[in-house]
């Protein structure tokens, strides 16, 4: 789609904020802005922050030792989007591997689900998503652990919003179920996948410094370049 005039009522300079100045283009505007590196991180960050945290909680894990990724724009090669519509990211932890896999536009994914998480063990697999969970028995297992699908009993998003508002009123931060530190941590994990993909390298993470061991990668990808007079505050 060609560049066009800025829609009436849109403060385009403020919309761009610290991102590079570019002519207005509908492809880079509302919703689809997330497919361009200037503004977002594609599906890896869009959904990663909603799913990878379940994996970390379930495995009682924090950060991986290494990260590698491969993918590309295979679903629609003619699309102007920059972020990969298809991506597989491997996070290597001390005692397990975590695999992130996405394909834009594919509704029937693993276990015939649009989205979800699978904890795969010797005797069975725990599969969960926003609609419910189930345990699928491993065919050779002698332990009968199959559990038919259980549907969710409430809305987690509503619960988070209720908890957030209640803590605002009470000022009791200890009662916050998902503090900003948790959100920051899972955002970093998601960005690790994008950086591994963009760099084309297997990256190692130093948890003592909170940085990659490759300083060239840190310099190029760890912080966005703020423009148009904006500066990232130092705290």
Superfamily of segment(s) 22-113+154-205: Dihydrodipicolinate Reductase; domain 2 (3.30.360.10)
Query: Which pairs count as long-range contacts for 22-31, CB under 8 Å and 24+ apart, including other chains?
Result: 25/1, 26/1, 27/1, 27/80, 27/81
For position 144, what pLDDT does the model report?
76
68-116 tens-digit pLDDT: 999 999 998 899 999 999 999 999 999 999 999 999 988 888 888 999 9
> Burial level of 69, CB count in 10 A (0-12/13-18/19+)?
buried
Global confidence as pTM: 0.92
Mean pLDDT, residues 220-235 = 90
The pLDDT score that the predictor gives to residue 145 is 78
Q: What is the largest CA-CA distance in the chain?
A: 66
Q: What is the mean pLDDT of the chain?
A: 94
At residue 185, the pLDDT reads 94
3-class SS of residue 132: strand
Cα 56–Cα 92–Cα 160 angle in degrees, nearest 5: 15
What is the pLDDT at residue 199?
98
pLDDT digits (tens, 9 = 90+) for 169-188: 999 999 999 888 999 999 99
Q: What percent of the chain is predicted at pLDDT more than 90?
A: 83
Instruction: Quick: pLDDT tens for 125-174.
Output: 999 999 999 999 998 888 777 899 999 999 988 999 999 999 999 999 99
């Amino acid at each position: 789609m060609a560049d066009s005039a800025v829609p009436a009522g849109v403060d385009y300079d403020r919309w761009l904020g610290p991102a590079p100045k570019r002519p207005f283009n509908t492809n880079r505007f509302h919703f689809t802005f997330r497919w361009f590196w200037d503004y977002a991180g594609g599906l890896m960050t869009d959904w990663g922050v909603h799913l990878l945290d379940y994996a970390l909680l379930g495995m009682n894990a924090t950060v991986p030792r290494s990260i590698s990724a491969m993918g590309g724009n295979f679903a629609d090669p003619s699309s102007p989007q920059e972020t990969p519509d298809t991506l597989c990211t491997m996070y290597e932890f001390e005692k397990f591997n975590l695999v992130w896999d996405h394909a834009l536009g594919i509704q029937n994914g693993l276990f015939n689900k649009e989205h979800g998480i699978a904890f795969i063990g010797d005797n069975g697999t725990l599969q969960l998503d926003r609609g419910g969970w189930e345990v699928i028995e491993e065919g050779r297992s002698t332990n009968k652990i199959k559990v038919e699908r259980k549907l969710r009993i409430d809305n987690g998003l509503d619960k988070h919003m209720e908890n957030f508002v209640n803590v605002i009123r009470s000022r009791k931060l200890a009662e916050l179920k998902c503090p900003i530190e948790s959100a920051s941590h899972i955002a970093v994990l998601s960005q690790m996948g994008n950086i591994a993909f963009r760099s084309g390298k297997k990256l190692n993470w130093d948890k003592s410094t909170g940085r990659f061991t490759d300083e060239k990668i840190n310099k190029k990808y760890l912080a966005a370049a703020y423009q148009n007079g904006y500066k990232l505050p130092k705290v």
